[in-house]
Structure 1
Amino acid sequence: MYKIGIDVGGTNTDAVILDENLKLIHSVKIPTSEDIETGIAGALKQVLNETGIDRELVTHAMLGTTQCTNAIVERKKLAKVGVLRLGYPATASVLPFTAWPEDMVDTLSNTYALAQGGYEYDGSELSAFSETEIRDILQNWKNKVESVAVIGVFSSLKSEQEEEVGRIAGEVLGSSVPISLSSSIGSVGLIERENATILNAALMKVMALTSDGFEKALKREGVTNAAIYLCQNDGTLMSLDYARKFPILTIACGPTNSIRGAAYLAGLENAMVLDVGGTTSDIGVLTGGFPRESSLAVDVGGVRTNFRMPDIISIGLGGGSIVREINGEVTVGPDSVGYQITEKALVFGGSELTTTDIAVRLGKVQIGDRELVSHISQEFAEKAYAKMAEMTEEAIDKMKTNSDDVTLILVGGGSVIIPEELSGVAQIIRDPNGAVANAIGASISQISGQYEQIYIYAKQARDEALQDAESKARTQAVLAGAIKETIEVVEVDEIPLAYHPDNANRLRIKVVGNLV
């Protein structure tokens, strides 16, 4: 029995095959294609052909992809979204799409409506919900929108109104128009939760194309018995159907795949991970075997959101970063030759001086032809190398929560450029398979489920609230593809809302389980 993991990066697409004991059988790394899907199909074909394994023995196939992230950044392939906010007239002073980039608003059509409904912080109605009003709005949107985002005031406390709108939308618009409910996506904070829900709705078309393309690529290669999963941005997996409902959960899954893969390769549950690609380096923290989540609102493509995102710092330092001397000062990046490094870097006969060339010149790594960089002075190379070390040390320092030296796991194809010693680092761990840690992380991950809600302990006992949240988190994990009997709680966050008179608490529970 085998598992296939594929991870699409900005520079390379990696594919690995693991056996039933999660032992790495083979890996390949090919340049990421412009349309991404061609690269996925190419990596899949190559890794299968080079191993010659029986396709019928592949039981699981996992994909980590940048498709959704790219769609937001490039404003391409996004759906026309209708935004329905429940909370009129109380929320009319700040309209949907406020503070969004203009080009993004134009792409999504700027279609929105404010309807009566929503809740107060104590669960009472903000204004009377009207089914007739909702039906009129949705009827007016027929054939105008491709996806709908529904947001209610304090729906993280009570979600009944959003669910009712979802039911009505299914009747009026039909099953071909997907519905995103904010209570299942974002956290507390109306505007940030609304923004995340709109993005999720906008990504429905992208995810449909990506998931369908992955399925077809597997079938073309004769992989017909495999359960198919996509990677989430918390270092776990979700089923194809679940991903089609929550495409926003794939954003930033690349770095978390690398963190999970690094944990597996190093055999550690707590460490810092540096994933060095061709263009950028991502730094994250491994806590209890999973990536640490960000506690702050996160900017996605110029849009402020509050949905679950990993705590990652990215810097413009990679194996293809361009090195220059400007007015006597050495600069590194942020521009890069990216996937064209084998054509443009000096050691490969190109004309651009890159960080890889510097590492080769100093004898840190043997790649390409060292004679092609022999003209670079030792002094300049050492200054450039010191600059690369400085950039890395500064980023590591920003991720620390105390002054102690950390254990650093180095992964990624560009990790050869990182110095052997760094200030603030007690130990650096490298693995021969670190270049494909991202694809390994995709292959070894479990299924997660998460539930977050505001509970008022004056009205509901704390133990009862904990049981309710855990039950709903377990349900989410099962929907995402986990085996019910294997699910266990891995994280509980309980945050009191100080301004609330009835002892309200924001409760978030995360569970993980094994793949079906």
Structure 2
Amino acid sequence: MIIGLDVGGTHTDVVLLGQEGLVRQIKVPTNPVDLFATVLKGLEQITEGIDPDQIRRAVLSTTLATNRVVQQRIPEVGMIVSSGPGMDPELFRTGEHYFPVAGAIDHRGREVAPIDADQVSAVAEEMKKKGIRHVGVVSKFSTRNPAHELAIGEQIGDQFEKVFLGHRVAGLLNFPRRIATTFLNAAIYPIHKEFFEAVLNSLAQKGLKVPIRILKPDGGNMRFEASIDHPAQTILSGPAASVMGSVAFAPKDEECLVLDIGGTTTDMAVLVNGVPLLDPLGISIGDHKTLIRSLDTISIGIGGDSAVRVVDGRIHIGPDRLGVAMAYGGPVPTPTDAIFLLGLGENGDLDKAKEGMQTIADALGTDVQDAAERVFEQACRTILKEADRMIARINAKPVYTVHELWEGSRLQPRYILVLGGPAPWFAKGLERFSDNRVKVVPRWTVANAIGAGLARTTCEVALFADTEREIAAAPEENFTQPIPSNYSQEDAVNDALDLLRRKAIARGANPDHLELEVIEAMSFNMVRGFYTTGKNIRVRAQVKPGLIHGYDPVTEKFTDNRFV
């Protein structure tokens, strides 16, 4: 059996999956100030009466880190940055405690200027006086030679709780994005550590000794223990869970729009022939453009519990959420209240919903039924309009799936998969106000947790080789080895795949069902005068994101092919 657990800002969804399908599903309120109690309650309920030896693994997803970044509620961290000549590191300042220092490595990995140990010591002392506990260290070409980052990390490592080195958190070239990625790892670390410890303590309290994984934004998972050194990999794991919870039910021969409609937001993504689209460069979250590999998703501030108000005679929905719908005891009218008045909702107080919608009707100068219809239509049309904008944005640039550059025609999805609490209700409107076929994902209320539970372990390796210097390196993997001058691109591919295989198994992948692929392989001649002096070779390889081997018997048990 597999446990899938999705910790959201409002609710934590937990599922227990077995060969017979979905064995059990529960929801518990998320208490952000006591995550231990939240996770423990979810695990207690989902495993009640279950032999712990039957549970094969647990996979988690969470939006906690994402919410803190978006709300700008992350702790203060320090950054030490060395760039050398040609680029002003101040252009990429991440906050108050940001310190450019001397030292430079060139694009070939050769030292141009040494670090200044006294300067580094002075910076460390200043950060300690300001109460900084977590630090990021980034050198411009550390992915070619991490010596400066390693030296600074060794010098200051015992003075702070955690020091993140840029080459270990992002192995690709792009100095500004590596700074942002390292900064976010340092900033999210204490948030994720609290979540990490809450989960481990909850499992220990239940006596569950099972492998734990956490979902990453690219739709794959990693060993939970590895996440403590890569906490930023938990960003956007919630939307990724939505996508993975839809993959098994998506058409395999056409494009599909996925909409996860929650209480506060709607998350959107596109599948091409059942395969998710990828943001190939990296997540942009808040003001931070990173190198964190992610599925291409967006979130908009409209959901079933979004506050509805009338301003200057016009209906405004969201982006704020002030509580649940009035039909469930909330303080202000919401789209869910409109849905109840239209006869689509269930298990709520119709009189309370009508009371809330009456205030909207009075402000519009109409009757309550018409007001409900207008609120519901505007909510559906807003979601569809934002989906059209997302598709236009995707079509304006090269389209990448998680497997490859997709060189087909422009995306024009005419099929929508909907999940989330109010999915069945919204699905009726989405089909009514568009030309799309609409289907509700089976077990739509907990599809995120199902997606997390069924996602396979993924990772990526980037390897660089310089045959003139006779060295091959993958700094993010702490790998360096001498190579002969006749080292070829084929040799680099073989070494990259070997590194990837070992990394994937270490992160929890099933060694019997590894799907490895090369996603980039390039070789450039280096010329001095009129002669070729060597080759610069670059290879990137990945484990294909997707669902675990043998998932079909699980999902087929609750597949429902009905269209809404």
1:446 counterpart = 2:456: yes
- Change in 2 beyond 3 A, CA 1:259/1:447: same
Aligned to 1:469: 496
Partner of 1:33: 31
Q: Is the 8 Å Cα contact of residues 461 and 499 (structure 2) preserved in structure 1?
A: yes
Q: What pairs with 1:34-433 in structure 2 (closer than 5 Å)? A: 34-35=32-33, 37=35, 38-49=37-48, 52-74=49-71, 76=73, 78=75, 80-81=77-78, 83-91=79-87, 93-95=88-90, 98=93, 100=94, 105-106=95-96, 110-120=97-107, 123-125=108-110, 127-130=112-115, 136=121, 140=125, 145-156=132-143, 158-161=144-147, 164-165=150-151, 169-170=153-154, 173-174=157-158, 177-186=161-170, 187-223=172-208, 225-266=209-250, 271-287=256-272, 291-295=276-280, 298-337=283-322, 340-341=323-324, 345-374=325-354, 377-400=368-391, 401=395, 402=410, 404-420=412-428, 421=431, 426-433=436-443
Task: Name the aligned partner's letter for residue 409 of structure 1.
Answer: L
Q: Within 1, Cα distance between the matches of 2:34 and 2:69? A: 15
Change in 2 beyond 3 A, CA 1:504/1:423: farther
Cα distance in 2, alignment partners of residues 424 and 188 from structure 1: 43
1:143 CA drift (Å): 5.5
Relative to structure 1, is the Cα distance of residues 423 and 479 closer, same or farther in structure 2, using a 3 angstrom cutoff? Answer: farther
Partner Cα distance (1:261, 1:332) in 2:
27
CA distances 1:463-490 after superposition (whole Å, capped 9, x unpaired): 3333333333333323322233432225
Conserved? CA contact 2:56–2:211, under 8 Å: yes
User: Are the equivalent residues in 2 in contact too, given 1:319–1:415 (CA < 8 A)?
Assistant: no
- For the Cα contact (< 8 Å) 1:62–1:228, is it kept in 2? yes
Higher deviation after alignment, 317-326 or 134-143: 134-143
Q: Secondary structure at the match of 1:451?
A: strand
Over 3 Å counting, the alpha-carbon distance change for 1:248 and 1:326 in structure 2 is same
SS in 2 for 1:257: helix
Q: Which residue of 2 aligns with 1:492?
A: 519
Worse overlay, 65-74 or 488-497: 488-497
Amino acid across the alignment from 2:16: I
- Name the SS for the 2:228 alignment partner: helix
Indicate how the Cα distance of structure 1 residues 118 and 290 shifts in structure 2: closer, same or farther if over 3 A, else same: farther
CA displacement at 1:410 relative to structure 2 = 0.6
SS in 2 for 1:34: coil
Instruction: Say if 2:48 is the partner of 1:16.
Output: no
How far, CA to CA, are the matches of 2:196 and 2:288 in structure 1? 25
Separation in structure 1 between the aligned mates of residue 375 and residue 232 of structure 2, nearest angstrom = 38
**Deviations for 1:154-196, whole angstroms, at most 9, x for unmatched residues?**
333x14425643xx63475349743323234334321121111
Is the alpha carbon distance of 1:34 and 1:130 closer, same or farther for their aligned partners in structure 2, counting shifts above 3 Å? closer
8 Å CA contact retained: 2:267, 2:297 = yes
List gaps (5 residues or longer) in structure 2.
359-366, 396-409, 469-484, 529-533, 550-564
Shift of the 478–142 alpha-carbon distance from structure 1 to 2, 3 Å rule, reads farther
Judge conservation of contact 1:231–1:253 (CA < 8 Å) in 2: yes
Q: Is the 8 A contact 1:229 1:238 kept in 2?
A: yes
- 1:436 deviates by 0.4
Change over 3 Å in CA distance of 1:198–1:25 after alignment to 2? same
Query: What is the SS of the residue equivalent to 2:248?
Result: helix
CA distance in 1, matches of 2:148, 2:274: 35
- Structure 1 counterpart SS, 2:110: coil
Q: Which amino acid aligns with 2:447?
A: A
Greater alpha carbon shift after TM alignment, 176-185 vs 62-71:
176-185
Shift in alpha-carbon separation, 1:425–1:440, aligned structure 2, 3 A: farther
Q: What is the DSSP-based 3-state SS (H/G/I as helix, E as strand, rest coil) of the residue aligned with 1:115?
A: coil
**Alpha-carbon deviation of 1:228?**
1.4
> CA 1:26 to 1:507, structure 2 compared with 1: closer, same or farther past 3 Å?
same
> Counterpart of 2:90 in structure 1: which amino acid?
L
CA distance in structure 1 between the partners assigned to 2:536 and 2:218 by the alignment: 27
Q: Provide the rounded CA distance (Å) in 1 between the counterparts of 2:527 and 2:373.
A: 58
Q: Residues of 1 paired with 2:287 and 2:20: CA distance?
A: 39
Number of aligned positions between the proteins: 490
Alpha-carbon distance change, 71 to 393 in structure 1, aligned in 2, over 3 angstroms: closer
Query: Per the alignment, in what secondary structure is the counterpart of residue 436 of structure 2?
Result: strand
- Normalising by structure 1, we get a TM-score of 0.83
* 1:331-388 superposed Cα distances (whole Å, 9 cap, x missing partner): 2111223xx41xxx23235442111111111122323133444566332222222211
> Which letter maps to 1:480?
R
Whole-Å Cα distance in 1 between the matches of residues 306 and 122 of structure 2?
51
Q: State the alpha-carbon separation in 1 of the partners of residues 370 and 127 from structure 2.
A: 67
User: Matches of 2:192 and 2:328 in 1, distance apart?
Assistant: 37
Q: Which amino acid aligns with 1:489?
A: L
Between stretches 394-403 and 317-326, larger displacement belongs to 394-403
Quote the sequence identity (%). Answer: 26
Query: Which deviates more, 232-241 or 345-354?
Result: 345-354
Contact 2:281 2:293 in 1 (8 A): no
Query: 2:537, 2:5 → 1: CA distance?
Result: 40
User: CA 1:175/1:259 → structure 2, altered by over 3 Å: closer, same or farther?
Assistant: farther
Shift of 1:124: 4.9
- Whether the aligned pair in 2 keeps the contact of 1:64 and 1:254 (CA below 8 Å) is yes
CA distance in 2, matches of 1:380, 1:490: 54
One-letter code aligned to 1:294? D
